[in-house]
Amino acid sequence: MDIQLLSILLMLCITDSLCLRCPEQIHLSFGDEHETMVVMWSIDIQIRCQVEYGESPDLLKYSARSNVSELPEWSSNALKYIHKAEVKNLKPGRRYYYRVVALDDNEHAVIRSSVHSFTTLTNDIGKPQKYLLYGDLGADADFPIYRKLEEEVASNNYTAIWHVGDMAYDLTSENGQTGDRFMQLIEPFAANISYMTSPGNHEIPGDFMHYRMRFSMPGIEWPMPLTKMWYSYDIGLVHFISYSTEVYFSHNEDYVCTQFYWLLDDLIKANQKRDKRPWIIAMGHRPMYCSNNNADDCTNRFISRWVKHGLERLFHAQGVDLIIEAHEHSYERLWPLYDEKVYATSYDNPQACVHVISGAAGNVEGVNWMRRRPEAWSAFRDDKTSLYSYGRLTIQNHTHLSFEQVSAQDNSLIDKFWIVQNAHGPFLKDITCEGPNRHESCVCPPLIRYVYLIIGLALGMLFVIFVGIICCFCCWRRSRTKKPKGYVTLHPLNNIEHEHYLVEGADLV
């Protein structure tokens, strides 16, 4: 880089606020191992960067160099260069401090970010863990949830944030400017806690490119490939799974069965360790069920419940305890259910998956109102006070889990419930996924689009046949009731009912 330019930048970087090209949009995520933390940021010039870190804010004596990816041409308004650094070999349960530094050709620091900090995961597997989670969050600084999340993370009570799809509306909007604004808004908390994500429908534009570049998730190469936007991660007593519901709704459909068999393998392995890590919690953006008053993926029972069709049987068979979903801009909690059937109206040792839909963090599209009458599986729902709300998940121990939905506007508690499970494991017992007798839940369901195409063609043919029969019938009837030549309709005076008179030699009317 030009020395003169670097000197100018250095002079301008007396503080972060004056810095023209400071690394920004800093956020964290878990690395492939518990001892690794991933730090990411954006910058608008091509320059080498690194993370400097240590256990004291005054002594950042270690460093980790970053890799860089460049946003595509159509993202002209976004900071172009996205960096990812892996900070490795961290001690468990410790607080680390770090900053992002840009370097000149002589390895001298020319730009420095503020100092941030994070706490590494503990080795104490039984220690209660708390998480923040939500979906559907737009890039508007006036949304009260941003301030609330900053307060929550500053309390140091939480292990991670899970954002279950739909970010910024959209990351690609305004040629990437909206994405930059969103990443700037989450930095005050995402720079201090792992910000874990799942893709939603608003990440689809541009082949998920901004999502795949702006975030890095464990066990996935970076930028995330289209062929694997799903992952799992063990923390304490929980096996977390993030899956992509978008494979069912985009040209990503080729990956439906790739994801399915990855999930099957992952769940089978997780079940082998259920005594040590009993809870399985899965997260995906679009819900399998919901009772909102719209024609959406989860409301239309016969046409578009593709996620339910693709994954519900697998999750039920393998005993997923809790499924967190979003997409609907409201809050809803379901009773334990499978295939429309409610298994219990309590959460004491549920024998089917429990669903929570928390998609009301704050968005430009407003609330999705509920239908008047709830379905039998809907245990609690809120579309009035839930806008700008988020979830707090607490894993108490092997048997107890609690969930709260909280309003960011007035801190009120919208909902709270416990799940008590004394016998974790598959909800379908004694099934095998090996050999010729493998259970149907171990086989990727055929793409529902093809099924409906066949049904649509069949219905179309039936319709044509039906119309043909009706036409034939009408023609036959008309030929039998044809009026004899010479009849004409006259209109007598005084509004007397019309009568037909035979007029010799008159023209037909």
Kindly list the residues in this chain that would bind Fe ion in the complex (CB under 5 A).
166, 200-201, 327
* Residue 20 contacts residue 36 (beta carbons within 8 Å): no
Q: Closest distance between Fe ion and the C-beta of residue 435, in Å? A: 39
Q: Residue 168: in which H helix or E strand, if any?
A: strand 167-168
Q: Closest distance between Fe ion and the C-beta of residue 201, in Å? A: 4
Measured from the CB atom, the residue of 136 and 187 that comes closer to Fe ion is: 136
Measured from the CB atom, the residue of 85 and 164 that comes closer to Fe ion is: 164
Q: Closest distance between Fe ion and the C-beta of residue 327, in Å? A: 4
Residues in the chain: 509
Measured from the CB atom, the residue of 300 and 432 that comes closer to Fe ion is: 300
- CB-CB neighbours of 10 under 10 Å: 15
The CA-based angle 249-255-261, given to 5 degrees, is: 120
Measured from the CB atom, the residue of 120 and 198 that comes closer to Fe ion is: 198
Measured from the CB atom, the residue of 286 and 381 that comes closer to Fe ion is: 286
Contacts 24+ apart (CB under 8 A), 438-447: 439/317, 440/313, 441/313, 441/314, 441/316, 441/317, 441/318, 442/264, 442/314, 442/317, 444/256, 444/257, 444/260, 444/261, 444/310, 445/260, 445/309, 445/310, 445/313, 447/253, 447/256
- CB-CB neighbours of 38 under 10 Å: 24
AA letter at 41:
W
Q: Closest distance between Fe ion and the C-beta of residue 29, in Å? A: 21
Q: Can you point out the beta strands (E) in 74-179?
A: 81-87, 95-103, 109-112, 116-119, 129-134, 137-138, 160-164, 167-168
Which residues, listed in sequence order, are joined to residue 403 by a DSSP beta bridge?
A: 393, 417
| DSSP code at position 320 | -
Q: Closest distance between Fe ion and the C-beta of residue 145, in Å? A: 17
Measured from the CB atom, the residue of 207 and 234 that comes closer to Fe ion is: 207
253: Cβ–Cβ under 8 A, 6 or more apart, which residues? 247, 447, 449
Q: Closest distance between Fe ion and the C-beta of residue 292, in Å? A: 12
Measured from the CB atom, the residue of 110 and 360 that comes closer to Fe ion is: 360
* Residue 165 contacts residue 250 (beta carbons within 8 Å): no
AA letter at 376:
A
29: Cβ–Cβ under 8 A, 6 or more apart, which residues? 37, 38, 40, 194, 195, 196, 197, 215, 216, 217, 218
Cβ-count burial 121-133 (b if 16+ within 10 Å, e if not): bbeeeeebbbbbb
3-class SS of residue 45: coil
Q: Closest distance between Fe ion and the C-beta of residue 321, in Å? A: 24
Owner of token pair 């292990």? 159
Q: Which residue is nearest to Fe ion (CB)?
A: 327
Q: Closest distance between Fe ion and the C-beta of residue 160, in Å? A: 21
Measured from the CB atom, the residue of 170 and 321 that comes closer to Fe ion is: 170
Measured from the CB atom, the residue of 97 and 249 that comes closer to Fe ion is: 249
* Residue 194 contacts residue 228 (beta carbons within 8 Å): no
Q: Closest distance between Fe ion and the C-beta of residue 200, in Å? A: 4
- CB-CB neighbours of 70 under 10 Å: 11
Measured from the CB atom, the residue of 159 and 299 that comes closer to Fe ion is: 299
* Residue 175 contacts residue 136 (beta carbons within 8 Å): no
Measured from the CB atom, the residue of 166 and 187 that comes closer to Fe ion is: 166
Q: Closest distance between Fe ion and the C-beta of residue 76, in Å? A: 26
Q: Closest distance between Fe ion and the C-beta of residue 285, in Å? A: 6
3-class SS of residue 259: helix
Measured from the CB atom, the residue of 114 and 201 that comes closer to Fe ion is: 201
Q: Closest distance between Fe ion and the C-beta of residue 329, in Å? A: 9
